[in-house]
Amino acid sequence: MSIPIVKLSRGIHVMHQFYRIDRLRWSALSESARGEALACLQAVRARYAAASHPRICTYANVGGKADLAFIAYASELAGVGEIHRAFEAAFPVGTLAPVYSYLSVTELPEYVTTEEDMKNTLVHAEKLEPGGEAFEKRMAEMRARQAEYEHYRLYPELPDWEVMAFYPMNKRRQGGDNWYALDFAARKKLMAGHARVGRKFSGRITQLITGSTGIDDWEWGVTLVAHQTDALKEIVYEMRFDEVSARYGEFGPFYVNLRLDPGDLWVHLGL
Amino acid sequence: MSIPIVKLSRGIHVMHQFYRIDRLRWSALSESARGEALACLQAVRARYAAASHPRICTYANVGGKADLAFIAYASELAGVGEIHRAFEAAFPVGTLAPVYSYLSVTELPEYVTTEEDMKNTLVHAEKLEPGGEAFEKRMAEMRARQAEYEHYRLYPELPDWEVMAFYPMNKRRQGGDNWYALDFAARKKLMAGHARVGRKFSGRITQLITGSTGIDDWEWGVTLVAHQTDALKEIVYEMRFDEVSARYGEFGPFYVNLRLDPGDLWVHLGL
Amino acid sequence: MSIPIVKLSRGIHVMHQFYRIDRLRWSALSESARGEALACLQAVRARYAAASHPRICTYANVGGKADLAFIAYASELAGVGEIHRAFEAAFPVGTLAPVYSYLSVTELPEYVTTEEDMKNTLVHAEKLEPGGEAFEKRMAEMRARQAEYEHYRLYPELPDWEVMAFYPMNKRRQGGDNWYALDFAARKKLMAGHARVGRKFSGRITQLITGSTGIDDWEWGVTLVAHQTDALKEIVYEMRFDEVSARYGEFGPFYVNLRLDPGDLWVHLGL
Amino acid sequence: MSIPIVKLSRGIHVMHQFYRIDRLRWSALSESARGEALACLQAVRARYAAASHPRICTYANVGGKADLAFIAYASELAGVGEIHRAFEAAFPVGTLAPVYSYLSVTELPEYVTTEEDMKNTLVHAEKLEPGGEAFEKRMAEMRARQAEYEHYRLYPELPDWEVMAFYPMNKRRQGGDNWYALDFAARKKLMAGHARVGRKFSGRITQLITGSTGIDDWEWGVTLVAHQTDALKEIVYEMRFDEVSARYGEFGPFYVNLRLDPGDLWVHLGL
Amino acid sequence: MSIPIVKLSRGIHVMHQFYRIDRLRWSALSESARGEALACLQAVRARYAAASHPRICTYANVGGKADLAFIAYASELAGVGEIHRAFEAAFPVGTLAPVYSYLSVTELPEYVTTEEDMKNTLVHAEKLEPGGEAFEKRMAEMRARQAEYEHYRLYPELPDWEVMAFYPMNKRRQGGDNWYALDFAARKKLMAGHARVGRKFSGRITQLITGSTGIDDWEWGVTLVAHQTDALKEIVYEMRFDEVSARYGEFGPFYVNLRLDPGDLWVHLGL
């Protein structure tokens, strides 16, 4: 066998999948076939249990669009497909119907903090003398924090909070509201305001932004984890007034999910 | 079992579900299986019968888009899912096909009446002296009324009127008609005019506005209850001329339903 | 049983339904089962045969979108649902698949002719002296004609012509083309021009405009009956140049149908 | 039986239908059932073989959207439905699944050449004296050619070339690009330029434009026949730069088909 | 048999097809039936193995939209249909469900380098004397390179890299952003900038642009092959800032695929 190894220059592949259970076929399964499916899914979850990747996390969808979902993380393209097939193979054939899927990759934010940005912060906000000892110490700290942040963006380890929401999005290209016609500085400034809203929700919302231009039907995938449903509403609503979203954001479907390992999934869904 | 408890800071979860009956599978049921399903659904309705929550209300859809529907209210995210599964489990497997669903949460209106607003009303409209006894008495009354109103918004108890309509909606963000580019004062003023139209229909229409930004595909869910079908038409039509809707409203699908408890549902649908 | 009685302040409910025949299931029916279905549908048609309501009319759809259709008229919301269920119950279970549906209510035109309009006509066009005998006689005539017209709008009796077309429509709310931002006088004037086109087709086209804002996914349903297919094309095409349609009209799907009673439907569709 | 006779003032009905073969059901047919279906379809084709109408032409769709297609021409509305049913009845029940359909009627072009246009051509381009013998002779010729052209438009006989493409289209009504807000002279001038592009493809492309405003979901149906696939691409691409299409054209789905009589259809599709 | 021969003036037909496996039907196959299907598909791949055409290449889709895909290249329209049918016939009936398809043809770029462009390059960039020996030698080289490029565009031989992405696209015709209202020179200049971005990805991305105006639902099909998933993202993202895409590009669905011959496809998909 010679499945090609397709990696990224940096970062990993991320896959979101949402399914319905075919209740008619499920009801025809024997008790032991259901138990076997659960054991099989638990084995898949155990096999892909790295903190970052390869990893699979399972969810119950709430709201009626789907029954269950997973997010998979893998360095190779075939690898993410392999987790996908392993998840599906855990279910007796015909009991799982696909509802929605999304493929994206982790990426560094385009408007990343530069050495220049750090210097400006130290000189203007912290009033430090460039080249001085205090300055260099703070620069080292800032570089380390930035490196850590960039590592998180490329090899994310989302906290295992109770609720997960997913939606894809675009930046608008339309008449006077054309994001891609703005210059870099204007975009960076707009995104900085956007990031400030995100930071206000620290501790309530953790977000993972993955890139999908050229890969799936929207430009980014947004995964939010939270402890409360209204935190999801508040952050997305508050950001909607931010010029980045107000003028340039276009949003796909929203999926709200409960973080449940296979055993609890079985209980919650009555499988 | 450890299904996570996901509550809101304040308010509750609301779920709307619309279904078709698979008549072919239904017709294959024995008389007793149909009766059992009815008994089962009546038990679900009885179990979730709180005035506010946990609560389920059942409906017959009229018009051809669906056959039946429910609205569920629950404090927890898993709780609303639990009512959802209980409703579906009442029907023999394969006899119920999902048509449309909506998940939202109750919320306080953003443009809520403030202490400042109340004062202004008393000073300018009622000509009362700030700090005087009459003033303080009226302030206390207004605060109490406002608290009651806010409680209704967060823990609603919709009157059990004959007709229920549901539709989701967005505020537009497009070229010159960008709601999210307006400042708070402008939006508050526009919404006040909108509310005046709503009040004109008092006694004919009761509305429940729930928030779903970041939770489902539109920003709000609107549930209207009425005694007459044309009251639904009149309020939505009249509001359409209001600037809030004329320039900024975008509307999803409309579902019109008859309020029927399970027994009457069985009769109306010939189940 | 206590199905709620949901009437309108004035006017009646109108329902359009379009279906496909499942030919595979139909072909499995015995000759007598087919005949029974026909007899059953004829009974439904006979039961709801009032000139205005309760009434059902059956049609063959032509063009490939559907096989057959009906329009039902009833004063109550549950009543229109009852005709709907009766129609479907005439067909052996599983032989009828829903294609499209529309729910609306009859209504008076918003831009109705007023006493003031009548006076103006008599004074300016007919050169009559206000208050004079001739004037009062003509006013009485005009009032009677207007009352008759309004009665037709609320309790329509569409002539039983050979072809029926249905489509739903909206008035646009978009940038510079926002119908709902126009004042009443401007809208009334635009609609008067629109009505003139309609009158040119008198004898070739009879139309029924029903309201569905807040009830179904478009704001109005348009039902046209004609003797010739190109009359449908001509009136809709000519109206498209009218500013009301050119700038403000948005149209849903079009369904063209032959008026056929059940027996002829059976022949035409080879049932 | 009393199916109503629904003709046009002038011209005929045209129907396009596209289908998939249900391969699973087809594979269950005996060899003789397949042969019978072919014989039956050949009989349908033979029955409706008039040069203009009633006529049916069969096609294989290429590209994956459908498997096969037909165009039917009939003077009556019920007649086109009759050909439609006859085509479908040739296939064993359940083996044919509808994919797309279109109903339209032939029509005279709105921007037809008038007596005035002819006179202008003779006086200005051919320098003939109005009323003179040469002038009258040329007028007679032009009138005859125009009559022939109009007859072709109303009772078309498309040449039986190898490839047929179909797509529906609208004229745009949007902001500054509103075709229906242009006056007749402006539209006639724009359409004349459009026609010049069409004439450049004479011998490579023959087109049939049919009207469907008020009849189907787009305003016109366009049927192109060609000897080569790239001729289809070239004419549509070149027209797209023409102001009529560049600013005012909106296009539906495109279907490319091979002209195949039933026997060849059977071979090509492996039926 | 007389299937018409439909060629192009120059270039070939290209077909993209995406499918899902019906796992329920597949699971019912015997081991030998699965092996036979594989052998059959391998034979199809071997039969159409020309470097340019007739050719078929098979892929596994990754992401959840489909399971597998192919691209077929053939000079005749019926020929591309024949490869299509041969691919589908390799699978036991009912095991393959179509997901998405695209039909296009190869074409020379409209904004092709002319003799004039070459001369300008030599005179202005290379400072050569027109008509001189050096000039003529360089002209000959440039002509040869151009001829080779044009041959590649018409009879492409895509390198067999690990990843293939496909998406269809349009040039926008909307208000101020109307590509088809630009003159040739403006379009050629914009496309030159676009091409420069493409060349930056040389070695990482090879692209094949095929034309489908008048043939399928978008104007062009874009096929990209790469070694890494993020190369797909980078090139499409970078181009999005190019005015050609920022203002004029409209994009259809994106499909990302692994290049796998039948044997590996069987392993990867667990068939």
DSSP track, E140-206: HHHHHHHHHHHHHHHS------SEEEEEEEEE-EETTEEGGGS-HHHHHHHHHHHHHHHHHTTTTEE
- CA gap D154, B86 in Å, rounded: 62
Task: Tell me the two tokens of residue A146.
Answer: 């930035």
Digit-coded pLDDT (tens) for A189-244? 999 988 888 899 999 999 999 999 999 999 999 999 999 999 999 999 999 999 99
- For chain B, what is the largest distance between any 2 Cα atoms, rounded to a whole number of angstroms? 74
- CA gap A82, A86 in Å, rounded: 6
Torsion of CA E147, E148, E154, E159, to 10 degrees: -170
On chain C, the residues whose CB falls within 8 A of the CB of D105 are 229-230, 233
Q: Do the chains contact at C214 and B227, CB–CB below 8 Å? A: no
Would residue B192 count as lying in a domain? no
- CA gap B138, E211 in Å, rounded: 74
- Determine which helix (DSSP H) or strand (DSSP E) holds D250, and give its type and residue range: strand D249-251
Task: Tell me the two tokens of residue E90.
Answer: 């390799």
DSSP 8-state assignment for residue D90: T
Name the residue in chain A with its Cα closest to that of B183: A241
- CA gap C16, D89 in Å, rounded: 28
Window 10-29 of C, Cβ < 8 Å to B? 10-11, 13, 15, 17
pLDDT at C4: 87
Which among B259, B156, B256 is positioned nearest to B211, based on CA atoms? Answer: B156
pLDDT at E109: 87
Residues above pLDDT 70, as percent of chain C: 100
Window 156-185 of A, Cβ < 8 Å to B? 162-163, 165, 167, 175-177
Query: Residue E242: is its pLDDT beyond 70?
Result: yes
Q: What is the mean pLDDT of residues C254-268?
A: 97
- CA atoms within 13 Å, Cβ hemisphere of D51: 5
Q: Does B236 reach chain C within 8 Å, measured CB to CB?
A: yes
Query: Residue B1: is its pLDDT beyond 70?
Result: no
pLDDT at B193: 85
Please report the sign of the dihedral spanned by the C-alpha atoms of residue A144, residue A149, residue A154, residue A156: positive
Which among E152, E215, E170, E171 is positioned nearest to E16, based on CA atoms? Answer: E215
- Alpha helix (H) ranges present in D28-95? 31-47, 77-89
Q: Do the chains contact at B267 and C1, CB–CB below 8 Å? A: yes
Query: Residue A134: is its pLDDT beyond 80?
Result: yes
pLDDT at D3: 85
- Cβ-count burial of D2 within 10 angstroms (0-12 exposed, 13-18 middle, 19+ buried)? exposed
- The answer to whether the CB of A172 falls within 8 A of the CB of A251 is no
On chain D, the residues whose CB falls within 8 A of the CB of C163 are 4, 6, 77
Across chain B, mean pLDDT equals 95
Would residue B166 count as lying in a domain? no
- The answer to whether the CB of A6 falls within 8 A of the CB of E165 is no
CA dist list (Å): C10 to C104, C153, C154, C191, E80: 13, 10, 7, 23, 62
Q: Does A237 reach chain B within 8 Å, measured CB to CB?
A: yes
On chain A, the residues whose CB falls within 8 A of the CB of E25 are none
- The answer to whether the CB of D188 falls within 8 A of the CB of D117 is no
Would residue B89 count as lying in a domain? yes
- For chain D, what is the largest distance between any 2 Cα atoms, rounded to a whole number of angstroms? 74
Strand ranges (DSSP E) for chain C? Answer: 13-21, 55-62, 68-74, 96-105, 163-171, 173-174, 177-178, 205-211, 220-226, 249-251, 255-259
> In terms of DSSP bridges, do strands E96-105 and E55-62 run parallel, antiparallel, or are they unpaired?
unpaired
Question: Would you call B133 helix, strand, or coil by DSSP?
Answer: helix
pLDDT at C218: 98
Query: Residue E1: is its pLDDT beyond 80?
Result: no
Window 71-100 of A, Cβ < 8 Å to B? none
Strand ranges (DSSP E) for C22-124? Answer: 55-62, 68-74, 96-105
Neighbours of chain A (3+ CB pairs under 8 A): B, E
pLDDT confidence tier of residue D25, bands split at 50, 70 and 90: very high
Contacts of residue D132, Cβ cutoff 8 Å, sequence gap at least 6: none
Q: Does C33 reach chain B within 8 Å, measured CB to CB?
A: no
Query: Residue C1: is its pLDDT beyond 60?
Result: no
List the beta bridge partners of residue B171: B249
B96: domain CATH number?
3.30.70.1030
Q: What is the mean pLDDT of residues B112-137?
A: 91
- The answer to whether the CB of E268 falls within 8 A of the CB of A81 is yes
Query: Residue C113: is its pLDDT beyond 70?
Result: yes
CA dist list (Å): D30 to C238, D6, D35, D176, E79: 53, 40, 9, 60, 28
Vertex B204: Cα angle to B199 and B206 (nearest 5): 65
- CA gap C144, C152 in Å, rounded: 12
pLDDT at C63: 97
Task: Give per-residue burial for E212-241: e unless 16+ CB within 10 Å, then b.
Answer: bbbbbbbbbbbbbbbbbbbbbbbbbbbbbb
pLDDT at D114: 92
Q: Which long-range contacts (CB under 8 A, 24 or more apart) does A143-147 make?
A: A143/A115, A143/A118, A146/A112, A146/A113, A146/A118
Q: Which residues of B are catalytic?
A: 167
Neighbours of chain E (3+ CB pairs under 8 A): A, D
- CA gap C31, C27 in Å, rounded: 9
CA dist list (Å): A199 to A204, A231, E90, E177: 10, 13, 55, 37
Shortest CB distance from B229 goes to which of C3, C105, C217? Answer: C105
Would residue A86 count as lying in a domain? yes
pLDDT at A175: 87
Which among B14, B73, B21 is positioned nearest to B215, based on CA atoms? Answer: B14
Contacts of residue C261, Cβ cutoff 8 Å, sequence gap at least 6: C42, C45, C58
Residues counted in chain D: 271
Name the residue in chain A with its Cα closest to that of E64: A101
Q: What is the mean pLDDT of residues A92-106?
A: 98
- The answer to whether the CB of B267 falls within 8 A of the CB of C1 is yes
Would residue D17 count as lying in a domain? yes
- CA gap C157, A86 in Å, rounded: 63
Would residue A42 count as lying in a domain? yes
- CA atoms within 13 Å, Cβ hemisphere of A119: 6
Would residue A54 count as lying in a domain? yes
Range of B42's domain? 13-107
Would residue E24 count as lying in a domain? yes
pLDDT confidence tier of residue C66, bands split at 50, 70 and 90: very high
Query: Residue D6: is its pLDDT beyond 70?
Result: yes
Residue labelled with tokens 């071997």: E46
pLDDT confidence tier of residue E120, bands split at 50, 70 and 90: very high
Domain count, chain D: 1
- Alpha helix (H) ranges present in chain A? 23-27, 31-47, 77-89, 115-120, 133-154, 184-200, 229-240, 243-248, 262-269
Task: Tell me the two tokens of residue B103.
Answer: 């998940």
Which among E14, E130, E21, D127 is positioned nearest to A85, based on CA atoms? Answer: E21
pLDDT confidence tier of residue B235, bands split at 50, 70 and 90: very high
Q: What is the mean pLDDT of residues D147-167?
A: 96
Across chain D, mean pLDDT equals 95
pLDDT at B154: 97
Catalytic: E167?
Answer: yes
Name the residue in chain E with its Cα closest to that of A72: E63
- The answer to whether the CB of D112 falls within 8 A of the CB of D103 is no
Torsion of CA D80, C40, C90, D17, to 10 degrees: -10
Min Cα–Cα distance to chain A from B135, Å: 36
- CA gap B253, B168 in Å, rounded: 7
- Cβ-count burial of B121 within 10 angstroms (0-12 exposed, 13-18 middle, 19+ buried)? middle
Residue labelled with tokens 């055993």: A263
Contacts of residue D91, Cβ cutoff 8 Å, sequence gap at least 6: D37, D41
- CA gap D140, D120 in Å, rounded: 14
pLDDT confidence tier of residue E194, bands split at 50, 70 and 90: confident
Query: Residue A97: is its pLDDT beyond 90?
Result: yes
Q: Do the chains contact at D77 and C230, CB–CB below 8 Å? A: no
- CA gap D62, E96 in Å, rounded: 18
- CA gap A96, A265 in Å, rounded: 14
> In terms of DSSP bridges, do strands A68-74 and A55-62 run parallel, antiparallel, or are they unpaired?
antiparallel
On chain D, the residues whose CB falls within 8 A of the CB of E219 are 237, 240
pLDDT confidence tier of residue C131, bands split at 50, 70 and 90: confident
Task: Tell me the two tokens of residue E135.
Answer: 């000039």
pLDDT confidence tier of residue B2, bands split at 50, 70 and 90: confident
- CA gap E56, A265 in Å, rounded: 43
Q: What is the mean pLDDT of residues B68-73?
A: 98
List the beta bridge partners of residue E256: E62, E165
Across chain E, mean pLDDT equals 95
Across chain A, mean pLDDT equals 95
Amino acid identity for residue C199 in this structure = R
